[in-house]
């Protein structure tokens, strides 16, 4: 018999959630992570991630989102930590842009609470913005943000308390299916498991080179600005936001404890990088991805750049996720990549992965994430 029922490789957002769910359901689980949990080499660091319900990317994500909100609340209760901060979300842009049109489509299809504001009303409610007269705002009261590193820490603590064995500072070299299960070779020895969940994020192709799809790992930059004028950011007047403009799609967060607002450009420069050779220095070109949008649309945020960090997206050709078994190796489950919008889904994807690994199926509709869509 294998040492473990399931081995989870990579303990970022997805892996830590899968490990916790599996362990709490009584599986004998092993979690392996190359770095220290919460590290900033992958995709799950930088303090905050947006969560929202009316999903512009596609309405079919909404049932998963409903469940993920429930599971975030359960995780808060189980860990005793506040991980989800509901601020509402202001989505602003041209009415026919992907953000507004997509959000309205998802919200109307699923009967989600939302308000549609014209440009003048948007600027009155959210005084930090300057937008053209033909833009609209959609306010969703359920939007908010998640505390990233504490969430991973909470998942791993619950996993450990439920009996998971966790090896950090341990790099997996090879995942080999064989008749009796899966052999996992690491730089610190080998393990045997019945099933492997590969949640290696930007490194998934290194472990599963036969994954039949081209992935783009791209370097992203998140930046924290000191507002020139703090007033329009005070008292809940600057909830999390998505802003689509001629400068692209930008998103950001209410002021942090130091009054700084974190803002980034979705997809950034969209240049592919090797995840092992990412330029972590922040350049003037990085800043230039954000400044013009601030100058034109959020001028009070266009102050001193206090801090900036790089991060990685791992993007599929259609920007949907991949959650599936490997072709020809059904006991290897791929739990990456999440195309730059996966963090909010971590608890529900943890549930899905545990379902597949333990029961062979899940009640959630994950047909959108199947590898077969790539032919």
**Which residues of this protein are in contact with ligand FAD, per CB under 6 A?**
9-15, 32-35, 42-44, 46, 49-50, 171-172, 199-201, 203, 207, 220, 222, 264, 311-313, 336, 338, 340-344
Beta-bridge partner residues of 137: 92, 117
Residues 184 and 204: their CA atoms lie apart, in Å, by 14
CB 210 within 8 A of CB 23: no
**Across the strands, what pairs with 175?**
184
Toward ligand FAD, which CB reaches closer, 126 or 251?
251
* Residue 266 C-beta: closest distance to ligand FAD, Å: 8
C-alpha–C-alpha distance, residues 348 and 334, integer Å: 15
Supply the minimum distance, in Å, between the C-beta of residue 261 and ligand FAD: 14
Q: In the complex with ligand FAD, which residue's Cβ is closer, 331 or 336? A: 336
If the CB atoms of residues 128 and 348 are measured against ligand FAD, the closer one turns out to be: 348
The C-alpha atoms of residue 351 and residue 370 are separated, in whole angstroms, by 17
Task: Please count the other Cβ atoms lying within 10 Å of the Cβ belonging to residue 113.
Answer: 12
Which has the closest alpha carbon to 212: 374, 18, 328?
374
Reference 254, options 268, 273, 233; nearest CA is: 233
- Consecutive H or E run containing 189: strand 189-198
DSSP secondary structure code for residue 267 in this structure: T
Nearer to ligand FAD, 222 or 300 (CB): 222
* Token code pair at residue 217: 């790992």
Asked whether 114 and 100 are in contact (CB, 8 A), the reply is no
- For ligand FAD, the nearest residue by Cβ is 12
Closer by beta carbon to ligand FAD, 5 or else 33: 33
The least CB distance from residue 345 to ligand FAD, in Å, is: 7
Give the shortest CB-245-to-ligand FAD separation in angstroms. 18
CA distances from residue 215 to 171, 220, 337 in whole angstroms, order as listed: 21, 15, 8
Q: Looking at beta carbons only, is 125 or 309 nearer to ligand FAD?
A: 309
Least distance in angstroms from the C-beta of 95 to ligand FAD: 23
Structure tokens at 308: 């900036």
Structure tokens at 133: 């007269």
CB of 317 to ligand FAD, least distance (A): 16
Minimum CB distance to ligand FAD, residue 121 (Å): 25
> What is the rounded distance in angstroms from the CA atom of residue 101 to the CA atom of residue 56?
7
Residues with a catalytic annotation lie at 45, 48-49, 262, 267, 311, 344
Among candidates 194, 196, 192, 84, which has minimal Cα distance to 142?
A: 84
Q: Which residue has the tokens 């994430």?
A: 369
Q: Which is nearer to ligand FAD, 135 or 343 (CB)?
A: 343
């Amino acid at each position: 018999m294998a040492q473990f029922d399931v081995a989870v490789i990579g303990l970022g957002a997805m892996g830590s959630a899968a490990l916790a769910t599996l362990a709490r359901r009584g599986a004998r689980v092993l979690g392996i992570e190359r770095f220290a949990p919460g590290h900033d080499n992958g995709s799950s660091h930088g303090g905050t991630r947006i969560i929202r319900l009316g999903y512009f990317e596609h309405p079919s994500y909404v049932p998963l989102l409903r469940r993920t909100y429930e599971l975030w609340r359960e995780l808060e209760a189980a860990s005793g930590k506040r991980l989800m901060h509901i601020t509402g979300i202001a989505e602003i842009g041209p009415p026919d842009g992907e953000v507004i049109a997509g959000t309205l489509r998802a919200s109307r299809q699923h009967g989600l609470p939302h308000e549609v504001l014209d440009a003048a009303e948007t600027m009155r409610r959210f005084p930090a913005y300057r937008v053209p007269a033909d833009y609209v705002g959609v306010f969703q009261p359920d939007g908010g943000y998640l505390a990233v590193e504490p969430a991973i820490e909470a998942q791993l603590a619950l996993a450990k308390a439920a009996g998971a064995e966790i090896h950090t500072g341990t790099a997996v070299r090879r995942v080999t299916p064989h008749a009796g299960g899966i052999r996992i070779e690491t730089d610190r020895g080998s393990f045997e498991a019945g099933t492997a969940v590969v949640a290696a994020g930007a490194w998934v192709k290194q472990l599963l080179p036969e994954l039949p799809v081209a992935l783009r790992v791209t370097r992203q930059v998140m930046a924290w600005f000191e507002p020139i004028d703090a007033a329009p950011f005070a008292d809940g007047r600057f909830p999390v936001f998505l802003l689509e403009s001629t400068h692209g799609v930008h998103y950001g967060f209410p002021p942090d404890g130091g009054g700084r607002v974190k803002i980034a450009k979705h997809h950034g420069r969209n240049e592919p990088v090797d995840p092992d050779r990412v330029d972590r220095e922040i350049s003037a070109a990085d800043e230039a991805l954000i400044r013009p949008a601030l100058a034109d649309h959020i001028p009070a945020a266009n102050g001193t750049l206090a801090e900036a960090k790089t991060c990685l997206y791992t993007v599929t050709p259609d920007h949907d996720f991949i959650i599936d078994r490997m072709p020809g190796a059904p006991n290897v489950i791929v739990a990456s990549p999440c195309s730059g919008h996966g963090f909010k889904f971590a608890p529900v994807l943890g549930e899905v992965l545990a379902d597949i690994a333990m029961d062979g199926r899940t009640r959630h509709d994950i047909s959108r994430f199947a590898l077969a869509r790539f032919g």
